[in-house]
Structure formats: structure tokens, C-alpha cells
Amino acid sequence: MIGRGAYGEIWLARTVTGAFRAVKVVYRSTFESERTFLREFEGMSAFEPISRAHPGFINILHVGRTADYLYYSMELADDHLDGRKIDIGSYEPRTLKTDLARQERLSADESIRLGLSLTEALEALHKRGLTHRDIKPSNIIFSENVPKLADIGLVAASGQRSFVGTEGYVPPEGPGTPRADIYSLGKLLY
């Protein structure tokens, strides 16, 4: 296991061709009802082709489900120390959170580049009528040194009102709108 969140676990996997992937498993028991579980599955299935439409989205490669869980495989983030060299015994995904743990702050130039890249990704997401709802350092991963929006399972149609988000990054009015995503991005870059 390479990660854990409120909704599931992320595992390091290897395909039959030897390529490494991340697989997120989201358990049915974490949802209030069968309806919300199915809505999450349908949302991920709909997002799968969209994920490949912009370089700022983590690529979702396959979505599936059983009665007890849903899962999706996605491109793997760089290793936080070794980039694309993956050692299964020590792999840890490179995120903005791991970068900040090593260097505390980004330079002004790095912040500007990151901000522009993520703004373009959010614009593409918002043009499709979707919002992310949980932009924070651990949800920005790097793949081949490119920053990407991750934890796409939280993406929702704009205006959807179930509360999702992380304290410190959610605007006072709550998540679920493009403006709220921009607020969260501003907090992240600050």
C-alpha cells in the first residue's frame, strides 16, 4: 500500500507488461448508501476518458467495481527521491506535499510555473462542468516531472453539495464551485 485516504487505499501494482501503476480501491462501506457508491463509480467511469484530455490530470486507465468496492488504475507518480526509477520496496509518490517537506517553500518561479499549470488543468475541468473540491499539496502529484491534479475521485458536477474538502483549503462558503477550487489553489500557492 502506498497511500490511504478517507475513502480508500492506493496500491502499487505492476501490469503483465511490467509497467507500474497505482490502483485506488474505494470500499462500499465508506459510503452512506448504495446510491452514492454507484454515483462515485459512474463519475469515475465518466471521468476516465476526460482524464486523458489534459496533461494536468492524472490519467485514469481503467475503472471497475464489485459489490464491495470500486477501483481504478492510474498512471504512477514519480518516486519522491528517484523520479521515474521505481523501487517497490521504498516507493513513495512524489507530491507537492513531499516536495514541501524537503524544501519548505517553493521559489517564486516554481510557484508561478505550478500555478499556471494547475490553473490550466482547473480551467479544463471547469469547462466540462466539473469541480475538484479537494485541492491540497498531497493531491498534486508529479508524473515525469509534470504537476497533475490527483484524487480525482472527489471530482463532482459543479454545484454538487455533499461536503468534501480539507480544512485550511476550503473557502468559507464551502466546496463545489469553480470559485471554490480557485480559492483552494490560491491557498495552496500561498
- Catalytic residue (choose from 78, 134, 151, 181): 134
Annotation marks residue 134 as catalytic: yes
**C-alpha pair distances (Å), 17 with each of 11, 21, 37, 48, 92:** 18, 11, 31, 21, 22
Place of cell 485514469: 60
Backbone φ and ψ for 186, nearest 5 degrees, come out as -60, -45
Residues carrying an active site annotation = 134
